[in-house]
Amino acid sequence: MYYDPAHVKYIKEYIIYVKFEDGTGGEVDFRNVIQSVKPYHTLSDINLFKKVEIHPEIKVICWENGLDYDPIILYYKANKLPFPEEWGNIVQ
């Protein structure tokens, strides 16, 4: 599916670049997610955050501590698309 990440790369601080199977992509800043969403607080350890990768079976970005991130939300963020209103409040 085109929401599946095909490539992910750490850029700097809490920013990654992600490219998707449809060829689109962009940078995503995780600072607000790390500060606002409790499970992601552990990613404030920059050495852990830098180890972002794509899970080979389920095609989501993930970290070695077991956290992953929704690929559809990631797609919208990377491509700077507005979230549908029916999704409610998404931490940007």
Whether 5 and 20 have beta carbons less than 8 Å apart is answered as yes
All domains of the chain in start order, with CATH: 5-83 (3.30.2020.10)
- The 3-state DSSP class for residue 43 equals helix
Cα distance between residue 40 and residue 26, in whole Å:
21
Mean pLDDT, rounded, for 55-78: 96
- The radius of gyration of the chain from alpha carbons, rounded to an integer in Å, stands at 12
Q: What is the pLDDT of residue 51?
A: 98
pLDDT over 70 (residue 2) = yes
**pTM for the whole structure:** 0.91
Residue at token pair 């830098």: 50
**What does the pLDDT look like over 15-56, one tens digit per residue?**
999 999 999 999 999 999 999 999 999 999 999 999 999 999
Residue 76 phi, psi dihedral angles, 5° rounding: -65, -45
